[in-house]
Amino acid sequence: MEKKEREERIWLTHPAGIEAASLQIIEKELNLRKTVLPPDEMMVLKRVIHATADFDYAQNLVFSPQAVSEGVKALQQGRPVCTDTNMARAGISQSGLKKLGAGVYCYMTDPEVENQARETGKTRAAFAVRKAAGLLPEAVFVIGNAPTALVELAEQIRQGYTPSLVIGIPVGFVNVTEAKEEILRCCRTYHIPYIVGRGRKGGTSAAVAVINALIYEAARMTDPYSRLDQKKS
């Protein structure tokens, strides 16, 4: 085995090498599909495809004007991040948030939220968003599971709440498409930045990929090697 080939194989067993090679493959395939987006939106799209292996997001993911730059600015200002699941919370870059001085919150297991859901028969996700809107000014919302969270967030916006960014990519079959269209209409009406995945597809991995792409950009951590170094420190 030649030295160069041996070095390449070693590189592709390294987490940073795997990530870099994956993104190169994605970029080549997007070029073959003639996908054209602004560079910042392309950066986010590649992260979502990296997390899902689903190139349909090239058509399904929609951005408001300057959504990426607005999200990056909010994170650099230390705006809180709020998710609809603890799984999403666990997947968001903790080292990036620490560098930015931002926190991530999820109220799905909050006792008050659980009691309200039990007493009313409505989802915890809806009450978790309502609680977050009362506690977290100008939060970045990351919704990858519960369409009812998007519906409640739209209602909070209509009542005067102003999130810094809405990332809405829940997955499912019941009221999912409708919830996404509702948050799109609401955000456009009230001029709230958004990144939304239309249709049934979505999920926590896609939503987390979006917010992590923004965190990496905001914290200047786009180089995978730099992120590994920061995890060790």
Residue 136 sits in which domain range? 56-232
- The answer to whether residue 27 sits within a structural domain is no
Q: What is the per-residue pLDDT for 7?
A: 45
How much of the chain exceeds pLDDT 90, in percent? 84
Residues with Cβ within 8 Å of 103's Cβ and at least 6 positions away in sequence, in order, are 80, 81, 97
Q: Give the model confidence (pLDDT) of 84-128 as tens digits.
A: 999 999 999 999 999 999 999 999 999 999 999 999 999 999 999
CA atoms within 13 A on the CB side of 207: 34
Query: Could you read off the pLDDT of 183-221 as tens digits, one per residue?
Result: 999 999 999 999 999 999 999 999 999 999 999 999 988
At residue 232 the predicted structure's pLDDT band, cuts being 50, 70 and 90, is: very low
Q: Please report the sign of the dihedral spanned by the C-alpha atoms of residue 220, residue 107, residue 149, residue 49.
A: positive
Residue 187 belongs to a domain: yes
Q: Count each helix (H run) and each strand (E run) in the chain, helices first.
A: 13, 6
Residue 31 lies in a domain: no
Q: Is position 133 within any domain?
A: yes
> What's the pLDDT score for residue 22?
87
How far CA 90 is from CA of 35, 85, 112, 122, in Å, comes to 31, 9, 22, 25
Residue 29 maps to a domain = no
Residue indicated by tokens 């030295």: 3
Catalytic site residues? 50
Say if 24 falls within a structural domain.
no
Q: The domain spanning residue 153 has which CATH number?
A: 3.40.50.10230
Q: How far apart are alpha carbons 47 and 77 in whole angstroms?
A: 23
Task: Read off the pTM.
Answer: 0.90
77 in any annotated domain? yes
Q: Which two tokens stand for residue 24?
A: 């190169």
Give pLDDT, residue 228.
55
**Residue range 115-163, pLDDT digits in tens:** 999 999 999 999 999 999 999 999 999 999 999 999 999 999 999 999 9
| Per-residue pLDDT at 17 | 76
Our count of domains for the chain comes to 1
Binned at pLDDT 50, 70 and 90, residue 19 comes out as confident
Question: What is the mean pLDDT of the segment spanning 70-97?
Answer: 96
140: Cβ–Cβ under 8 A, 6 or more apart, which residues? 71, 74, 75, 79, 80, 81, 82, 163, 164, 165, 167, 211, 214
Residue 196 included in any domain:
yes
- Sequence-ordered list of residues with C-beta below 8 angstroms from that of 28, at least 6 positions apart, any chain: none
Q: pLDDT band at residue 230, thresholds of 50, 70 and 90?
A: low
